[in-house]
Amino acid sequence: MGDNNSHSHHVGVGINSSSNSVSSQVSYFFKKLKNFWNIYKFGIVSTLLIFLLLEVFLNDNSKLNSKNLQKLNDLLMSNNLVDFNQTDIIGANNKDDSASPSSSSTHQLTKPPKKNPMDFYTIESRLKYYFPYHRKSEIENNIFQIWLTKADDKNFPTDCKPHIERWREVNDGFNHNLLSLNEVEESIVDYFKPTVPEIIEALRSLPHDRLKFEFLKYLVIYINGGLYADIDSVCIKPLKYWYDSKSISGKLIVGITNDFNDLNWEKLYNRRLQFSNNIFRAKSHHPFLAKLIARITYISFTQAELIKNSNWDEIFQNVDANGEPLVQFTGPSIFTDTLFEYLNSLKNSLYIRVAKNDRDKDIKPIIGPDIPEGQRYSYKSFSGAIAPSQVEDVIVLPPISFQGQPLKEDNYQSKNDEYDDDDSKKGYEKFYYARPLALTMWSSKKKSVSTNDINKKVE
């Protein structure tokens, strides 16, 4: 009897041990699966999205129709469902001075991963390894402006020349550079070819100059640091008077270009809130720009055939109310999406709303798409802004900063009245720094939005 009981006891222990072992293995499997998804989910979803977007234009001999535009609009809006609150496992090779104080990096790379342009995180990690970000130094005093041709070319937009000269004149102490696409590309080749040649390969694969133009904006600032401004933008206030934080110096400065707080926003705009890539300022090798460059490079390789076979001249003719193309992977939309992705990758980040005053009482409830659970930063973080906000070393300026005040522009008696060369403007206007003029063939030409436009359905 004792032997039987003893045998039963041991059998019971064996069953429990086996059950625990299986349970542990299952738990381990799902943990690995979850980690894999957290790392690669954005790449997977973004690849599928780009494939679907461009597929619209390859169907029906690349001819656009209302049905395709509706499908396109729906697909663009589906990008808001992507969860950007992911873990960034990419580190840098400078332990003392390279990563952001709230960076989500979990380890340092001792050597660069091998070239693999089909993997987003490999591209990003190679950029961070070879070009570490030194956050303690200030943004370089450079101004870059780019156009298709040199200034002495007969096809250079002559209306832009006085505005280019103003950027140079009122910003003494800054190194001003006006470059053609070819000149910028040559400097990019010398910089990246020895270390991250996939960046050059991606750039040269782009089938349209406008795609290259947008990509080169990010590349030239990533390499040199400083301010980028389109040639048809006007400098209202000298850079020395632009806002900077007294607590954490800004190393990336961007401005809101569109903030349409209305239920029907998606009928008119690509994004509920969008940042401008016409004017921005950044420290060289800033990790946001590394992420943005890696994203564009990754798309260029993984969707090479679709990009090559698309009719980009036709695609660029279809724009939203802000004048931005509905389909783009180098312009303001990817700039905006990647910035939110970057902000949400920062761990325990410090968020500062710079100014609150009586005008805040008039702000309407914020309307827009649902935000994934756990995502800290979204359009809601900056909608209705009337002064700068800050997340770590990223400063987000209100719409007036790089867009101006359309309702007041007619009240200016002259250009000199609009300019603020001595930093004398007060209130909201003290944050008015520059604005676009829509003088080139690639300029975003805003459409006037009426009640009929808002209520009208996309057919």
Give the number of other Cβ atoms within 10 Å of residue 378's Cβ. Answer: 22
Q: Would you state the pLDDT for residue 325?
A: 86
Q: What is the structure's pLDDT at 280? A: 99
Beta bridge partners of 319: 325
Residues in contact with 49: Cβ distance below 8 Å, sequence separation at least 6, in sequence order: 75, 78, 79, 82
Q: For 413, phi and psi rounded to 5 degrees?
A: -75, -30
What is the amino acid identity at position 99? A
Q: Please provide the size of the chain in residues.
A: 459
The pLDDT score that the predictor gives to residue 232 is 97
Q: What is the pLDDT of residue 328?
A: 83
* Tokens encoding 129: 């390894």
- At 346, is the secondary structure helix, strand, or coil? coil
Q: Are 301 and 117 in contact (CB under 8 A)?
A: yes
Angle ∠(338,347,374) on CA atoms, nearest 5: 70
- State the pLDDT at residue 273: 96
| pLDDT score of 60 | 47
> 274: part of which helix (H) or strand (E)?
strand 273-275
Determine phi and psi for 12, rounding to 5 degrees.
Answer: -60, -45
Residues 6+ apart with CB under 8 A from 127: 196, 199, 290, 293, 294
For residue 56, what are its two tokens? Answer: 């619209």
- Asked if 192 contacts 199 with a C-beta cutoff of 8 angstroms, the reply is yes
Predicted confidence at residue 2, as pLDDT, reads 45
At 135, list the tokens: 């956050």
Give the pLDDT of residue 104.
42
Query: How high is the pLDDT of residue 110?
Result: 84
Partners of 228 in beta bridges: 144, 280
Q: Which domain holds residue 92?
A: 2-455
> What one-character-per-residue DSSP string does 71-103 give?
HHHHHHHHGGGS----------S-TTTSS-TT-
Structure tokens at 442: 């690639």
Backbone conformation region of residue 44, classed left if phi is above 0, alpha if psi is from -120 to 50, else beta: alpha
> What per-residue confidence (pLDDT) applies to 25?
61
Joined together, the tokens standing for residue 385 give: 């802004």
Among 279, 314, 289, which residue's Cα sits nearest to residue 399? 279
Mean pLDDT in order along the chain per 10 residues (459 residues): 43 44 57 57 56 52 45 38 29 37 54 96 98 96 98 97 98 98 95 97 97 98 99 98 93 96 90 96 99 98 96 90 84 96 95 64 81 94 95 97 69 70 95 95 65 42
Provide the pLDDT for residue 326: 80
pLDDT of residue 63: 46
pLDDT of residue 39: 53
Determine the Cα–Cα distance for residues 306 and 328; give it in Å rounded to an integer.
13
Q: Which one-letter DSSP state was computed for residue 139?
A: P
pLDDT for 322 equals 77
Residue 354 has a pLDDT of: 66
Q: Which two tokens stand for residue 139?
A: 């943004």
Percentage of the chain modeled with pLDDT above 70: 69
Instruction: Give me the number of domains the chain comprises.
Output: 1
